[in-house]
Amino acid sequence: MKEIRTPKGKLYGTLDVRTYTLITIDGKNIRQTPLPKEGCTLLYKAGNSPPESIVIPSQDSLQS
């Protein structure tokens, strides 16, 4: 498991490296999102703040 944080340090979720699934918790809601093996870029927006870009590397780069 690896923490995924925004560039400003806010915790966005946890990445299960074995299954390459992003786990996010929002209050009582837990979401498990499968990610592409090539990696991806997500945008995080909270309230009135500008969106922050979160880059998730490819699965190969995390396991090496």
Q: Which residues contact 10 (CB under 8 A, 6 or more apart)?
A: 44, 46, 52
Domain tally for the chain? 1
- Provide the residue range defining the domain that includes 39: 2-63
In this predicted model, what pLDDT tens digit does every residue of 32-42 receive, in sequence order?
999 999 999 99
In this predicted structure, what is the pLDDT of residue 64?
57
Beta-sheet pairing, 11-16 with 21-26: antiparallel
Yes or no: say if 37 and 22 are a contact pair by the CB < 8 Å rule.
no
The segments of the chain whose pLDDT lies below 50 read: none
Give the angle 54-60-29 at the CA atoms, nearest 5°.
45
